[in-house]
A and B are shown apart, each in its own frame.
Chain A
Amino acid sequence: MSERKDGKPFSDEMLVAYMDGELSDAERDAVEALIGSDSEAAVRFEHLSRSALPFREAFAPLLAAAPAARLDAMLAAVPAVSAPKAAAGIGRRGLLAAAAACLVAGIALDRTVLGVARRLSGPDESAEWRAVVAEYLALYTADTLSAPAGDHAAQAAQLALVGEKLGMTLTPEAVALPGTDFRRAQVLQYDGMPLAQIVYLHPETGPMALCMILSNAGAAAPEAERRRGMNVVYWSSATHAFMLIGRAPVDELQALADHVRGVLPA
């Protein structure tokens, strides 16, 4: 327990280590005596105690959010490293096998570090981006979208920019949803990839969004689901995944999705 340079007989390190139960018995006694006798130390201790936050609870959801299926598949794909058992001396075949295994492992690592094998597209991946979009949109209210949408030229410019990121041609006409007001288009990011979000205001049910990401998971017909109290209709083309989400009835969303599929270039 050395004194600090500024002459105070205590330091934050000491007080925090005390809170964390990391001090020896003698050190602990010393800190307790100090807190009891030195009001400055007591005030500092009390202040630092406010940082005793529920850390474990705060990070529990992140554990639950781990993409378990994808990680399992990834681990299973890592090849065994050991050379086959070489009981009596290592023969030429054993060496070759070991070399091959190292090569494979090396490639796996390169792919990892280079990020070439971006991700294993498991069945949960397509659901994951929809979950994220739903969480995001759940925060929207009609007030969020109160800003004017801009004139046709402004909308066209905005959509062109968004479309460029997604490799599609987007125009105000193509993305117009009958019975709703276009509000804005923007590019968000999902896992390092551009995510296009086109937001509409539905006169009765509030915010609605058409979202797109690049996806090579293959074409799929529309399906419906519910997320965060909203209806979702999602489908994909050979190059993109789409979702339409809002509080409108599912029938209406289905009809709008069919409309979008008819006008948007795949």
Chain B
Amino acid sequence: MSVARLTFPVYTREKSEAPAVPALEGPSAGTEGVIASEEDIRQGLSRELARLWRYAVVLSRQRDVADDLVQATCVRALERAGQYEAGTRLDRWLFSILHSIWLNEVRSRRVREGQGFVDADRSLVFDGARQAETHLLAAQVLQQVQALPEAQRSAVFLAYVEGLSYREVAVVLDVPIGTVMSRLAAARAKLADGAGASGSARRTNGGQT
């Protein structure tokens, strides 16, 4: 296959349309508004628990830590209900809260206590095995992503699994958009290298380098 004839299998990321959270129609009065939105946040949380838990597993690679992380996220989100901007995506807001708790509290605490981190292999015995029989490729992809360093893993997960835009990923991770770009590029390069091993068996190498 010559390079000139290459078709470009452009991976257009499906823009996810996770159910948008309806804009909060809180009364304009201050105190009343805060009280109303706390209940709204609680309802929003109950809709997003599974997605929050999944992100927590991606970050921590451990189910029990994920449980704790989601719980802390719920507590924090309800405490800060008044800071939620009505009309914005609640799921993104919750992702950022979860991420900052992970980064600033749980993760740092685990490092301090020398508990370290679970390596991808062991966590996947538990988290990936269930699906191994249903879809081998999917299981491999999960494994490859979970093997990425945390900074790349979270960016890949938010952008390609949850369908966030670069800008939204940057907000959740609290980093500049350029950092998101370089993390995603580094991750994609690594994943492409991994895919290349099996890919080269299928493809005829055109001799180009």
Contact = CB atoms under 8 A, between A and B. Distances in A.
> How large, as a class, is the contact surface on chain B?
35 or more
Given A20-B11, A39-B208, A62 B127 contact: yes
A72 B75 contact: no
Contact of B46 (A35, A70, A75): A75
B73 to A, nearest CB: 9
A16 B34 CA distance: 41
A16 B35 contact: no
Interface in A44-77: 45-63, 65-68, 70-72, 74-75
Contact of B161 (A42, A48, A50, A56): A56
B150 interface: no
Nearest to B10: A19
Given A50-B192, A59-B157, A21 B138 contact: no
B57 interface: yes
Contacts of B196: 47, 50
Contacts of A46: 3, 6, 8
> How large, as a class, is the contact surface on chain A?
35 or more
A6 B95 CA distance: 37
B38 A82 contact: yes
Contacts of B14: 56
A109 B8 contact: no
Contacts of B34: 82
A135 B134 CA distance: 12
Contacts of A21: 12-13
A72 B130 contact: no
Contacts of B135: 57
B54 A35 contact: no
Given A19-B10, A19-B11, A66-B49, 15 more contacts: A46-B6, A48-B189, A51-B187, A55-B161, A56-B14, A57-B138, A59-B161, A61-B130, A63-B50, A66-B53, A66-B54, A68-B50, A71-B50, A108-B75, A191-B62
